[in-house]
Amino acid sequence: MGNSVDEYTQEQIEELISCAKVIVDPSKRTMTSLQGSRRNDMIVQNGAGARFRVFMRQSEKFSEDFSVGLVYEPRGASPIILIRCNGPHGEFLGVDASHSHNGYHIHRAKVENLRSGLRAERCGELTDEYVSFEQALRYFLSVTAIQWTDDHFPNLRQRRLDGFDD
């Protein structure tokens, strides 16, 4: 993957988001409390050796205010947030950037943003995929194809196929 923003295509961005990834530096079993927010991070890697950082943040004051994101960190270049799943924290600019919205939403990197010199993940879209931090994390792990186990995220204990927890 090239370092210049001109070298990315939307297909490459989508592939970076959805390609299968394994955890190479796992997150802590519990979030760390630091300066008003609960935080956790981990490093994941895809089959081609590209490395990504996952961040998990949740406000201690407003627990519904959280963000789980995937950061692509190409060597020697600025990091790019590929996807970020947020809770309702206030308004955000929608995809058309002329209207603001409020609610659970997802920011996703767009090549036109990169080429315009804007933040890749500028502007978000409302979502009904989750209504809590744990649900957002589970959704995020699914769309980013990160392979995880109960050891990585004990709070997310994977459901059996019959839908019942142990």
Partner 1 sequence: MISQSAIENAIATQFHDKVRLEPRRPNILQIYAPFYHEDGDMLDMYIEPRHGGVRVCDFGKTLMRLSYTFDLDTDNKRRIFNEMLTENQVQFDDESGNIFLDTTEENLCNSVLHLSQVIAKVSRLDVLRREIVSGLFFEMLNEFIGSELTSFNPRFDYLPIPGRDELKVNCAFEISPYPVYLFAVRSSNQARLATLSFLEFQKARLRFKGFVVHDDFDSLPKNDRKRITSAADKQFVSLDDFRENAAEVFSRVA
Can you give the binding site for partner 1, defined by CB under 8 A?
Answer: 34-37, 39, 55, 57, 59-62, 65, 67, 69, 71, 75-79, 81, 84, 86, 89-93, 97, 100, 107, 118-119, 121-124
The nearer residue to partner 1, 20 or 118, going by C-beta atoms, is 118
The nearer residue to partner 1, 30 or 158, going by C-beta atoms, is 30
d(CA 47, CA 19): 8
Residue 121 near residue 113 (C-beta atoms within 8 A): yes
Dmax (CA) of the chain: 50
d(CA 117, CA 55): 23
The nearer residue to partner 1, 60 or 134, going by C-beta atoms, is 60
The nearer residue to partner 1, 3 or 158, going by C-beta atoms, is 3
CB of 73 to partner 1, least distance (A): 9
CB of 103 to partner 1, least distance (A): 12
CB of 45 to partner 1, least distance (A): 18
CB of 163 to partner 1, least distance (A): 34
CB of 47 to partner 1, least distance (A): 21
The nearer residue to partner 1, 35 or 161, going by C-beta atoms, is 35
d(CA 166, CA 161): 11
Other beta carbons less than 10 A from residue 143's beta carbon: 15
Question: Using H for helix, E for strand and C for coil, what is the string for 23-73?
Answer: EEECCCCCCEEECCEEEEEEEEEECCCCEEEEEEEEECCCCCCEEEEEEEC
